Structure 1
């Protein structure tokens, strides 16, 4: 592969703007950001899990696994909107075969010691986890809102633009972390000391 790999997390909140979502997915498949693995947010499907947990009180590990199912569902929705995407649990294999993968994280339901099974970990941190495993150069988070210029991972978590575990996963990822909101790309990688704060 001649270009550096990018893991691109597409927020489930973008489903509120189908035109932007469709353009984005098409541009990713067309290679505008180079070789990519798309990580879907859980969107309204994950929100339904939160609502059900609030009403029924089932434990966080079950909610976490159901939220992974929500991401898997959004992966299939993304592929329905952009049929050139390939839904897969093994994105490295799909890349090697020349496909543009959208990640189905269902394999994580078996549990990983480094991934807490709580709402502190959402698709943002999971995108960083996958980017670290794949050796990606950049983890790009596409959001429906713009961060403050220069905001680092800890500030993004405090502002609710990323999950609570995001600074911990950011500290483990050696590449660039970029947020893309409606206003464009903003680098959010700051000093590792800040990431771990």
Structure 2
């Protein structure tokens, strides 16, 4: 995918902050503060849907409405969590245009609501959650790294398909990873683990 924005550094990191971190309020606040402080360099934040998305799953299970509608409601859940993150850390700015936010010098939190209109690159199913959307955005913005902040650590030596099988990332994540040339890092309570190096690192 071509780089869509200008005016922000090439060493951009897309950071997906899992909604499951809501269960650890102190850690969530620390994570958001560190991102606002610039400890990971220039970043754009992708919010997980957390309990808001879980409510969509539960309601779909009870009522049986189709996956495309559930996908759109889950995007709304991500948008809601973006606003919660900005309320917890006021230096974050919610935007539907993270490239524009970066160019303006802010720390953007992505509101993915426009994707509810549909996008040919994004299947409307539970196989695609905020994990894969973070990779999609990272590829779209030409980011150097996609960092997923999780409430659990990956198993030692686990490859991307293993992470998908165990549910640490969504089912579509390995496929979306093929569209992204940068590094993929998971940050659990135990620290960072590089799951895949950048294209240049892999070619070395």
Do the two structures share a fold, i.e. TM-score over 0.5? Answer: yes
What displacement does 1:38 show? 0.4
1:118 to 96, 106, 125: 125
1:25 to 18, 29, 32: 32
1:91 to 88, 98, 114: 98
2:163 to 122, 134, 156: 156
With over 3 angstroms needed to count, the CA separation of the structure-2 counterparts of 1:35 and 1:191, relative to structure 1, is closer
d(CA) in 1 for partners of 2:189, 2:99: 29
1:169 maps onto 2:176 in alignment: yes
Normalised to the residue count of structure 2, the TM-score between the two structures is 0.92
d(CA) in 1 for partners of 2:124, 2:115: 10
* Secondary structure of residue in 1 paired with 2:187: strand
Alignment of 1:16-165 (within 5 A): 16-165=23-172
d(CA) in 1 for partners of 2:56, 2:10: 38
With over 3 angstroms needed to count, the CA separation of the structure-2 counterparts of 1:9 and 1:127, relative to structure 1, is same
1:184 to 180, 191, 199: 191
d(CA) in 2 for partners of 1:148, 1:55: 33
* Secondary structure of residue in 2 paired with 1:172: coil
Give the unaligned 5+ runs of structure 2. Answer: 1-7, 200-204
Give the unaligned 5+ runs of structure 1. Answer: 193-197
What displacement does 1:150 show? 2.8
Q: Which has the higher contact order (CA 8 A, sep 6+)?
A: 2
In the alignment of these two chains, the number of paired residues is 192
d(CA) in 2 for partners of 1:176, 1:33: 14
d(CA) in 2 for partners of 1:25, 1:191: 25
d(CA) in 2 for partners of 1:138, 1:103: 16
Q: Which moved more, 1:146-155 or 1:55-64?
A: 146-155
d(CA) in 1 for partners of 2:56, 2:87: 22
C-alpha RMSD of the superposition: 1.3
What displacement does 1:189 show? 1.1
What displacement does 1:190 show? 6.5
